[in-house]
Amino acid sequence: MSEANPAAFGGQPIVNDAGGGSGPAAGIRDFLAYLRRRPGYLAGYIIVIAMAILGLVAPLLPLHSPVDADAGAYLLPPSWRHPMGTDSAGLDIFSRVLHAPRIDLTIALVSTFWAACLGGAIGAFAGLWDGAGRIKGPVAMLLLRASEIIQAFPVFALALVLVAVLGQGVMSIVIAIGLVNIPLYLRLMRGEALRIRDQGYLEAARIAGANDLYLLSRHVVPNAAAPMLAQMSINTATAVLLAAGLSFIGAGVRAPTPEWGSMIAMGFQNVVTGQWWPSIFPGLALALTVFGLGRIGVSIITWSNPRERSRPSRRAWKAFAGGSV
């Protein structure tokens, strides 16, 4: 029995319920058309992509050095030479704000990706093994209890402890943020596996001789892709905040590496004396990035729901109310 045929193990053909043909290319076109009808969601993608591009091309732009201080440029207000002013160390804030996404987004994306891969894989097996056999059932229960123990601790406090144990640095932050997020993906994928494993086509595949790895790769993971992607987008925003929070209290990225959290911390003490720009501009960049990532997550959740996806946009409702359609 060949695995090249999805129906060989009781599988179902993938149906593109968004309309407009089938296949990945058609699905992407439908999703892009959906975003054009929802400018509020599209704005999130534009913001995040713009931040990522700025972080990548910042070293190529004719900017002031983000790490070399100018002793004669102490707390200068915004001007043509320094569009966002300078901080208490004489560093150009505009250059540092543009360089910071290289660190913040890298930490957030890498930590979210490895946490989703590991947590999703463990959760998928835990859901498929729940209540099955003398070994698989207890193992699944043990994995679930371990995730509950991790979730019992405050996320920020646990990340702070892990960074203290692992040592200060970018890699330690990536590992710490990933570890505190693993239970989220474990429980999400476990819930999806529990929902899918009792479906008729999965039972047919199991009776036909499909092993657990085949069931997960062909049925469980594809059906859980949308909620996992939505959770990853939201957790990326949370990871950005966690990285910034750790740097804000001095446990994250070491100065003078440009990072939004450490920049806010350096400028926070000057706000009370009237120098608002060292912390306001990196704070706005951080808030804008988190907002964009949140909109991406909401767009994926809405797209995965056929009822929400087919709901007319505000522009369509206005045209209908005005008698244009």
Domain annotation for the chain: domains and CATH numbers: 17-63+71-306 (1.10.3720.10)
Q: What pLDDT, in 10s, does the model give residues 156-195?
A: 999 999 998 988 888 999 999 999 999 999 988 888 888 8
What the block records as the tokens of 85 is 């002013």
Mean per-residue pLDDT, 255-275: 86
E-only strand ranges, 249-294: none
pLDDT of residue 132: 65
Neighbour-count burial for 272-298, b at 16+ CB within 10 Å, e otherwise:
eeebebbbbbbbebbeebbebbbbbbb
Q: What pLDDT, in 10s, does the model give residues 120-164?
A: 888 888 887 776 666 777 887 888 888 888 888 889 999 999 998
Higher pLDDT, 43 or 32: 43
Kindly calculate the radius of gyration of the chain based on its CA atoms and give it in whole angstroms.
Answer: 24
pLDDT at 305 over 80: no
Residue 5 pLDDT grade (very low, low, confident, very high; cuts 50, 70, 90) = very low
Residue 21 pLDDT grade (very low, low, confident, very high; cuts 50, 70, 90) = very low
> 133: phi > 0 → left, psi -120 to 50 → alpha, else beta; which?
left
CB atoms within 10 A of CB 77: 12
Mean per-residue pLDDT, 256-266: 89
CB atoms within 10 A of CB 209: 10
Cα-based distances in Å from 116 to 102, 172, 234, 245: 21, 17, 12, 22
CB atoms within 10 A of CB 202: 23
Cα-based distances in Å from 209 to 7, 200, 202: 13, 15, 11
Residue 320 pLDDT grade (very low, low, confident, very high; cuts 50, 70, 90) = very low
pLDDT of residue 315: 57
Question: Is the Cβ–Cβ distance between 65 and 86 less than 8 Å?
Answer: no
Q: What pLDDT, in 10s, does the model give residues 205-224?
A: 777 776 777 777 777 778 77
What the block records as the tokens of 95 is 């250059």
| pTM greater than the 0.85 cutoff | no
Mean per-residue pLDDT, 238-246: 92
pLDDT at 22 over 70: no
